[in-house]
Structures are given as structure tokens and as C-alpha cells.
Amino acid sequence: ELGAEGIRLNTVTPGWIFTERQVGEYFVGPKAKKHLAYLAGVQSLPLKITAGDVANHILFYLSDASRASTGHNCVVDGGWLLE
């Protein structure tokens, strides 16, 4: 209903993001290997996704490059939901 006004609605859904807090909580000490192995098992892409990766998708939706896109949910999870 807002398309006639030129308003687009898109969302970005992040998966596991390697922030300072997450790294400090899950990826130091004896459990680090366990958590990394888990992520390697559920993500299709062997990436440590950062806030910058999510920001790049948001910047795309804010740019004219996405001017014909509306109603999309962009999942930034390295393929986790493909499981």
C-alpha cells in the first residue's frame, strides 16, 4: 500500500555475528573449539560474519541499486537456514 508513495520495505535478518561480546563470551577458553565446530557444521559458507557484512546488505537496500526491491527479507547467516 505504500509503494505508490515510493516507500519500500525490506528487512535484514542476521545470523551469528562475530562481535566483541560474542567472541569474548563464546570463543575464548576451553569451549572455543566446540563453538567454532558447531558454526562450521551449520553454516554453508566458512565465514566469521561481522557487523560489516550485515551493514553492507543494509547499505544495498538504502541505495538506488535496490530501487526495484520491496518486500524482501535478506538473511545474512552464511547459509545457516539452508540446513
Question: d(Cα 62, Cα 66) in Å, to the nearest integer?
Answer: 7
Query: Is 83 a domain residue?
Result: no
Tell me the one-letter amino acid at 76: V
45: three-class secondary structure by DSSP: coil
Domain contains 18: yes
pLDDT at position 2 is 87
Provide the residue type at 20 as one letter. Answer: E
User: What pTM does this model have?
Assistant: 0.83
**Can you tell me the mean pLDDT for 59-82?**
95
The per-residue pLDDT for range 13-62, each reduced to its tens digit, is 999 999 999 889 888 888 899 988 998 889 999 999 999 999 999 999 99
Largest CA distance in the chain: 55
Residue 83 pLDDT more than 80? no
pLDDT for the residue numbered 27? 85
Q: Which of 9, 17, 21 is nearest to 62 (CA)?
A: 9
Q: Is residue 14 part of a domain?
A: yes
Residues 6+ apart with CB under 8 A from 30: none
The count of structural domains within the chain is 1
Asked if residue 72 belongs to a domain, the reply is: yes
Computed from CA positions of residues 74, 80, 52, 25, in that sequence, does the dihedral angle turn out positive or negative? positive
Q: Which of 75, 72, 83, 77 is nearest to 41 (CA)?
A: 83
Q: Quote the domain boundaries for residue 66.
A: 3-78
The reported pLDDT for the residue numbered 75 is 96
